[in-house]
Chain A
Amino acid sequence: MTLDRQGHLTELALDRLEADPPASDPSFFEAARAHLAGCEPCRARVDLRRRDALTIAPSARVVAAWRSRHAARRGHLPKLVGVGGALAVAALVLIVARAPPAGDDDAPRKKGASLHLEVHVHDGARARLVGDGDRIRAGDRAAFGVRPERDGHLLVFGWDATGAPYAIWPMATDPRAAVAQPIARMEATLPLPAAIRFDGTPGAEHLMAVLCPEPFSLADLLPPDGLGASEPRVPAACARRRVVLHKTP
């Protein structure tokens, strides 16, 4: 499975050891590592690769194609959903795939528990990826991308400076009724078919993605005294990512 006809790890096997996620094929990794432990020539090849330290940056053409492709993917989403009440003014389609600019400080760090959240804001003139502390204005629109690194149930929601929660994905008119949706581990960022337009409430705008092994609803996360006073009650087994923006009228 991992060995060539001479009994050594194939180049492909070494590539897989180097680049594939171990969880993608545990039996392969187990067999390949067991072989490595007892094969000096193969270990030497691995060492040679490490010393090589090849790096290459994406070309401008690939970057342009990447962005174009992601924009096109968004353009084919079947339906957009908005956020209820005053926030459900409009939605947009936007995808500029980038990794998260800033992690949630309280995001679980254990391997396999990570969840990545991207927030892209369009101010009417241009789109940008935003991170903690970035400023937004009332009327700006936002779209979202997630990359769960494990299977689970995902819910994305937000709350403004008054503590009023709203569901972003999946959409629910009554945010408390929003139920996390099953989602599989992703190798690439998944643009969510959801977007919001920020209302005029000034102050901190919290956007949070939560990934749990078990089904849950937004109501399960809401603290009794409200989000303005307390943090969401995210179970320890869940991964979460948050971006906090500062909104001005």
Chain B
Amino acid sequence: MPIPKRTPIAPEDGDGLVPDELAELYRRHAPAVLRRGRRFLPPDEAEELVHEVFLKLVEEPRRLRGEASPATWMYRVATHLCIDRLRKRARQARLTADFAATRAPHDPGQTPEARAFLDALWSTLDDELAMIGVLYHLDGMTTADIGRTLGVSDRTVANRLARLASAARAAAGDEPGGQR
């Protein structure tokens, strides 16, 4: 049997149509991503964030395929991009400022560590600590849930939270040291 010679065809572009599969992914996941974006960003930026998340999905589809929970992947990527955007702006505002309207059912920020994190510390921590801090202090997640969401052990999360608390105390001038 002859194997035909490959004849690549350029993709159809510019016809103004949205592939239905992409539209379905948006229908299913974009509301949650948009909601997540609005917790940290102004509405117009939150919409940009949605498209940014889906661009990552398009660029790395295998990552999503390997996820038991696509929503978790979206949540993680969206949170990371939110933190990234806020940092790029070198914004020193309290993280709670944009968050107050849709905060978790509990009231975050009641402990000194949480207040330090929410006020300013989040913007100076490394990516992993900032992410863990957001999930813990803003979303109220348990260490086990954070571990599952980020793909690390409970113990790792607990260690990072201890480091975060130490950084908070250092930021408050209670003790020397930083995030590491």
Known: A63-B22, A128-B12. A54 touches B140 (CB 8 A): no
Q: Which stretch in A94-102, A103-111, A214-222, A226-234 binds the other chain? A: A94-102
Chain B binder among A73-81, A199-207, A235-243: A73-81
10 A–B pairs (Cβ distance < 8 Å), ordered by A: A1-B145, A4-B106, A8-B105, A12-B149, A15-B74, A19-B29, A56-B26, A88-B1, A171-B1, A187-B65
A58→B19 CA distance, assembly (Å):
9
* Interface positions of B (Cβ within 8 A of A): 1-13, 17-32, 34-36, 47, 50-51, 54-55, 58-59, 61, 64-65, 68-72, 74-75, 104-106, 139-142, 144-145, 148-149
Separation in Å of the A44 CB from the closest CB of chain B?
10
Do B51 and A62 touch (CB < 8 A)? Answer: yes
If A6-B105, A24-B68, A75-B8 touch, does A80 touch B3 (CB 8 Å cutoff)?
yes
Whether the pair B69, A20 counts as a contact (CB closer than 8 A) is yes
A84 interface contact, C-beta 8 A: yes
A135 sits at the interface (CB 8 A): no
Q: In the complex, which residues of chain A have a beta carbon less than 8 angstroms from the beta carbon of B5? A: 90
Chain A positions within 8 Å of B, measured between CB atoms, are 1-6, 8, 10-12, 15-16, 18-20, 24-25, 28, 41, 45, 49, 52-59, 61-71, 74-75, 79-82, 84, 88-101, 122, 126-128, 141, 147, 171, 173, 186-189, 195
Cα–Cα, bound, A118→B177 (Å): 59
Q: How far is the CB of A163 from chain B (nearest CB, A)?
A: 22
Per the bound structure, the CA–CA distance linking A2 and B141 in Å amounts to 9
Taking a contact as CB atoms under 8 Å apart, the answer to whether A92 and B105 are in contact is no
Q: In angstroms, how far is the closest chain A Cβ from the Cβ of B41?
A: 14
**A99 with B20: CB separation less than 8 A:** yes
Complex alpha-carbon distance, A61 and B26, angstroms: 14
Q: Of B36, B65, B74, B142, which contacts A4 at CB under 8 A? A: B142
Q: Quick check: B23 and A58 within 8 Å, CB to CB?
A: yes
Determine if A19 and B21 form an interchain contact, defined as CB atoms under 8 angstroms apart.
no
B51→A91 contact, CB < 8 A: no
Whether A18 contacts B139 by the Cβ 8 Å rule is: no
Q: Contacts of B17 on A, CB cut-off 8 Å? A: 98
Known: A10-B139, A15-B75. A64 touches B54 (CB 8 A): no
Whether A90 and B61, one on each chain, are in contact in the complex, defined by CB atoms closer than 8 angstroms, is no
Asked if B145 and A61 sit within 8 Å, CB to CB, the answer is no
Cα–Cα distance between A41 and B59 once the two chains are bound (Å): 38
Whether the Cβ atoms of B4 and A15 lie closer than 8 Å is no
Known: A99-B19, A99-B24. A79 touches B3 (CB 8 A): yes
List the 8 shortest-distance A-B pairs measured between CB atoms, nearest first. A99-B20, A4-B140, A71-B11, A6-B106, A54-B31, A15-B32, A91-B4, A98-B19
Q: Contacting A64 at CB < 8 Å: which of B13, B141, B148?
A: B13
CB distance from B33 to the nearest CB of A (A): 8
**Cα(A126)–Cα(B11), bound, Å:** 8
